[in-house]
Structure 1
Amino acid sequence: MAHLCRKLLRLKLKRTIIWRVAVLRRCAGSLWDQVLACWIGKPIQYRQILESGPTATVCHHFPSGEMGSSCGDGIVSGEMRTVSAVGDRNKDASDLVALKITLLGDNLIGKTSFLAKYIGKEKKHDDFPATEVKQMDKTLSVRGARISYSIWEVGGDAFSADDCGSTAAIRVACKDSVAILFMFDLTSRCTLNSVIGWYQQARKYNQTAIPVMVGSKFDDFIELPIDLQWTISSEARAYAKAINATLFFSSASYNINVNKIFKFVTAKLFNLPWNLERNLKVGEPIIDF
């Protein structure tokens, strides 16, 4: 009888210990989930910039000679900065989330016009000199949070020229980017064929950025014969599928899908509930994913 009592006592004690351990595990798991949520919710990088009203624009121009004279780190030095800001320059920007986006593509495909349209800056010849890398910042508010996108545009010669300076330009522009936009001219199939080369160069320095393919000059594209539109659209969709990118047809002149592209990137980065509708109709601005 005494042996049975001791056995029951040990069993009861064992169950008590198991129950307490289970409770501790649940508490620890809940605490860890909160820690992870806080950690994931924080941005990779923070940077303070001057803000003026709803948006702040900062322009940087990096001449090709300042991208580094060797194949080393390609450090950018001596940058020229034009700041457009009014109002309270001492406003606390500690809560500003700074993220980097890169814009790649051949020359004369409308990259600068596309960038100027999104930033809200009227394009003038003197505003954007022919430099290897251009950078502009735009700050926006998303559900109470302030997000600053630093958008880096690489000149088309950076890929066509096989030298250390051009390699440095692509490396500096792509490093730490959260998204890379591969742009081509919808009316020039050779610029579409260059997308794969740009993609391969970019992936050498950044394997995690969200890839997006952007077809520019849609307003000119719709003037082409319908059979040629169909052919180019099919090829563009095939290229986008090959690099696992979402495809947008856009027009900076008529502001077609310009803002939508950056909304897509923002929603993708922060897992925001935003439905993007696919449009595969030839003659309309295609969106494919």
Structure 2
Amino acid sequence: MAQRKMTQKLFTCHRRMFHLKMKRKILCRFSVLHKYLSSFWYQFLAFWITKSIKYRQLPHTIPVSAAQSPPQPADGRRSTSEIDLVSLKICLLGDNQTGKTSFLTKYVGKEKAQEGCLTKGLYQMDKTLNVRGARISYSIWEVEGDDSCSQDHIQAACKDSVAMLFMFDLTSRCTLNSVLGWYQQARKWNQTAIPVLIGTKFDDFVQLPLDLQWTIASEARAYAKLLKAAVFFSSATYNINVNKIFKFITAKLFNLPWTLQRNLTLGEPIIDY
């Protein structure tokens, strides 16, 4: 009788072990399948947006195609300041009323902004800075985001740009959804520029409910991941992250050390790259 009970216990134990092993195998296979499907889905989304593009870090010497040579005097001579100046182009894209012009004015200054060149559909400003003894002039082209915007304007702004800034209003989720369309159009004319996703009006964004802030921030980071772009939350009114964005671009272009830490804290201006 005792032997029979022992046999039943052993049988029950073996059966439980068998079921446990089968359960582990099923879970393992399900996990592998889930990873495969997730990877396939992200690849599909990336392909739908555009071809998978990885921007390259530019060397310390800027290629001739990326630099715009300043005009030479009639006698052919060039001043020392002209020889040392490297001119690079950056474009800003995004819907109307996202704060692109305010963002640029904060960076270049009101006096420089007044000297900017305004044509139908395009606005161009310049900013010159010194980086480790070198003089760099950023020619920044803003494309209007209303219905009057044409492919010619996008082509003119994006062609030969070393960086493309995609702007959206943190308080308007539809402007974030529009970023995909801007990205598709921009990549038709430029496939090597550094992409940066910028959420504007952070000072208004922090007034929103925390759950809505979390949702918008999560969506913005997801979009940035698909575009292979860095993401910054900014405010032109309070000069939040405006200069840091251009410092980040400069560091990427010249392969300079970058010490700024990522910030993913809810309620603070996000920096993720």
- Give TM-score scaled by structure 2 length: 0.71
1:248–1:287 CA contact under 8 A, matched in 2: yes
User: Map of 1:264-283 to 2, 5 A cutoff?
Assistant: 264-283=248-267
Distance 1:124 1:202 in 2: 24
After alignment, is 226-235 or 120-129 more displaced? 120-129
Q: Which residue of 2 aligns with 1:182?
A: 166
Q: Which residue of 2 aligns with 1:230?
A: 214
For the aligned residue pairs, the C-alpha RMSD in angstroms reads 2.5
SS of residue in 1 equivalent to 2:123: strand
Q: Which residue of 1 aligns with 2:102?
A: 113
1:43 aligns with 2:32: no
Greater RCO (Cα-Cα under 8 Å, separation 6 or more): 2
Q: CA deviation at 1:121?
A: 1.6
1:155 aligns with 2:144: yes
2:231–2:271 CA contact under 8 A, matched in 1: yes
Q: CA deviation at 1:130?
A: 8.0
Q: Which residue of 1 aligns with 2:183?
A: 199
SS of residue in 2 equivalent to 1:92: helix
Q: Which runs of 5+ in 1 are unaligned?
A: 1-38, 50-89
Distance 1:287 1:260 in 2: 10
Distance 1:156 1:175 in 2: 18
Q: Which residue of 1 aligns with 2:135?
A: 146
User: Map of 1:112-131 to 2, 5 A cutoff?
Assistant: 112-121=101-110, 131=120
Distance 1:116 1:269 in 2: 23
CA separation of 1:136 and 1:124: change in aligned 2, threshold 3 A: closer
1:284 aligns with 2:273: no
Distance 1:123 1:185 in 2: 24
Q: Which residue of 1 aligns with 2:151?
A: 167
SS of residue in 1 equivalent to 2:110: coil
Q: CA deviation at 1:111?
A: 0.2
Instruction: Give the count of matched residue pairs.
Output: 208
Q: Which runs of 5+ in 2 are unaligned?
A: 1-57, 72-78
1:261 aligns with 2:245: yes
Structure with the larger helix share: 2
Q: CA deviation at 1:40?
A: 4.5
- Give TM-score scaled by structure 1 length: 0.67
SS of residue in 2 equivalent to 1:212: strand
CA deviations over 1:256-281 (Å, ceiling 9, x no partner):
00000000000000000122311111
CA deviations over 1:18-74 (Å, ceiling 9, x no partner):
xxxxxxxxxxxxxxxxxxxxx95332324337xxxxxxxxxxxxxxxxxxxxxxxxx
1:93 to 61, 76, 82: 82
Q: Which residue of 2 aligns with 1:136?
A: 125
Q: Which residue of 2 aligns with 1:242?
A: 226
Distance 1:122 1:185 in 2: 25
Distance 1:283 1:231 in 2: 12
1:113–1:123 CA contact under 8 A, matched in 2: no
CA deviations over 1:118-176 (Å, ceiling 9, x no partner):
0012699998868400001111000000000000000002xx45xxx700000010000
Question: Percent identity among equivalent residues?
Answer: 68
1:46–1:96 CA contact under 8 A, matched in 2: no
SS of residue in 1 equivalent to 2:182: helix
